[in-house]
Structure 1
Amino acid sequence: MIALEDVYKYYRRHGHRKIVLDHVSLDFQSGRSYGVLGVNGAGKSTLMRLLAGTELPNGGRVRRRARISWPLGFSGGLHPKLTGRENARLVARVYGENPRAVISFVEEFADIGAYIDVPILTYSSGMIARLAFGLCLAIDFDCYLIDEVTAVGDARFAARCKEEFDRRRQRADIIMVSHAMGTIRDYCNRGIVLAGGQMHIFNNLDDAIELYKKLNA
């Protein structure tokens, strides 16, 4: 599905080099959903952007053999001066989808009423997240990247999100970042702990969660 090949990623901050991934090679397999754990600052969101292709590594290569979503939780691809409807139309065209079908799905799923025709710079963070969820789910991806946003909105909306993702998981995979262990257990069947520039993969989620708790103690 996605393969990291000797990936090296770092940032320069205050004259120092912060290494996020230190020559990491890893194969995300199809038919598996991965929960990515790590302490604050470990580089989880950076990893998601690398997987999506919205950010490039300093060295190595990321290979994608599937249709990968943008990181859900990353709204940088939405134009703030466009309305929700206009953003939906733009995203549909970028991905070669039927704009009417995408807009219809987003209107029903996001449930933001007349705000669909208002520039999103006026939206609350919750409304932006609803729009982003609707847009992502309006398009069929082989793998959905989710960055710490599944609990957005009220309980009814959160339940709708889980129900929709449960349907998608019958034909698509998920790579998720979350600090909520219950959410990781609900969505994922493999665990990855990002620490010290390395990715430690576990077939047993409990083992990944145990290591994460030790690092976070």
Structure 2
Amino acid sequence: MIRADNVTKHYHIGKSTKVVFTDLNFALSKGESVGICGANGAGKSTLLRLLAGVEKPTRGRVTRSMLTSWPLGLSSCFQSSLTGADNARFISRIYKRDERELLDFVDDFAQLGAYLYQPVSTYSAGMQARLAFGISLAIEFECYLVDEVTGAGDERFRARSEEALHTRRKSASLIMTSHDPGTLRAYTTRGAVLYGGTLVLYDSIEEACDVHHRLQLRGMS
């Protein structure tokens, strides 16, 4: 299970404070899938980083009893002066996975070719996302966090990504953010809307997408 208890996140920017969200409370059980809707700047990516443990809340607590991925596509965890292969080897040691098997999977899946053995600093944003996605899928996590990553790469890579996610979804939990309601409907069953610093959970992704759409129309009027 992943639990968020009274989670608040603020950022201090100069002399001002940006409040992302306040007192979020929710729980995700093993096997569940939740799609998170929200406008640009609502805090979707920030929330995933908190759930992954990449960032800490300003207040409150996130508890994880499942082996949880970092947000798929997040490349800031890489050491840019190292090669993609070296980063993959390092992560394999952290998670106690066979280095050769993990690297072979990443090589086949990300299809970076010779760039896999070049410094990550030479990668485009899309290449970094492919590397992060490949390494994430090489490890059997119990919960996958997905942040718009299915848009990375060409059509063939996106198709492989979608197929791999559907396969993982059969045996793992999933928390996904996306601007595309169709993507959320394809991968998740429950929904949540992040709006105005609060998170509201819904029993179905359809209801969450509908609420999000109406809130966006209200904001445009």
Aligned equivalent of 1:123: 123
Q: Is 1:41 the counterpart of 2:41 in the alignment?
A: yes
Q: What letter matches 2:97 in structure 1?
A: E
* 1:77-97 Cα shifts (integer Å, max 9, x gaps): 111111111111011011111
Q: What letter matches 1:51 in structure 2?
A: L
Aligned equivalent of 2:28: 28
Aligned equivalent of 2:85: 85
Q: Distance in 1 between matches of 2:50 and 2:164?
A: 25
Q: What letter matches 1:155 in structure 2?
A: E
Q: Distance in 2 between matches of 1:93 and 1:39?
A: 37
Give runs of aligned pairs for residues 103-122 of structure 1, distance below 5 A: 103-122=103-122
Q: Does the Cα contact within 8 Å between 1:2 and 1:64 map onto a contact in 2?
A: yes
- Secondary structure (helix, strand or coil) at the match of 2:97 reads coil
Q: Does the Cα contact within 8 Å between 1:120 and 1:128 map onto a contact in 2?
A: yes
Q: Distance in 2 between matches of 1:35 and 1:132?
A: 21
- Per-residue deviation, 1:114: 1.1
- Give ranges in structure 2 of 5+ residues lacking alignment: none
Q: Does the Cα contact within 8 Å between 2:89 and 2:99 map onto a contact in 1?
A: yes
Q: Distance in 2 between matches of 1:189 and 1:198?
A: 20
Q: Is 1:71 the counterpart of 2:71 in the alignment?
A: yes
Aligned equivalent of 2:102: 102
- Per-residue deviation, 1:21: 2.4
- Secondary structure (helix, strand or coil) at the match of 1:21 reads strand
- Secondary structure (helix, strand or coil) at the match of 2:100 reads helix
Q: Distance in 1 between matches of 2:13 and 2:119?
A: 35
Identity %: 47
Q: What letter matches 2:215 in structure 1?
A: L
* 1:95-150 Cα shifts (integer Å, max 9, x gaps): 11111111010001011111111111111122111111110000010011111111
Give runs of aligned pairs for residues 1-217 of structure 1, distance below 5 A: 1-13=1-13, 15-217=15-217
Q: What letter matches 2:48 in structure 1?
A: M
Q: Distance in 1 between matches of 2:13 and 2:32?
A: 35
Q: Distance in 2 between matches of 1:208 and 1:15?
A: 36
For normalisation by structure 2, the TM-score amounts to 0.94
For normalisation by structure 1, the TM-score amounts to 0.96
* 1:6-50 Cα shifts (integer Å, max 9, x gaps): 112112335333222211211112211111111111111110010
Aligned length: 217
Following TM superposition, where does structure 1 have runs of at least 4 consecutive aligned residues deviating by more than 6 angstroms?
none
- Secondary structure (helix, strand or coil) at the match of 1:216 reads helix
Q: Does the Cα contact within 8 Å between 1:34 and 1:190 map onto a contact in 2?
A: yes
* 1:64-84 Cα shifts (integer Å, max 9, x gaps): 010000111211111111111
Q: What letter matches 1:120 in structure 2?
A: V
- Per-residue deviation, 1:196: 1.7
Q: Does the Cα contact within 8 Å between 1:39 and 1:215 map onto a contact in 2?
A: no
Q: Distance in 2 between matches of 1:18 and 1:215?
A: 21
Q: Distance in 2 between matches of 1:176 and 1:108?
A: 24
What is the aligned-residue RMSD (CA, Å)?
1.2
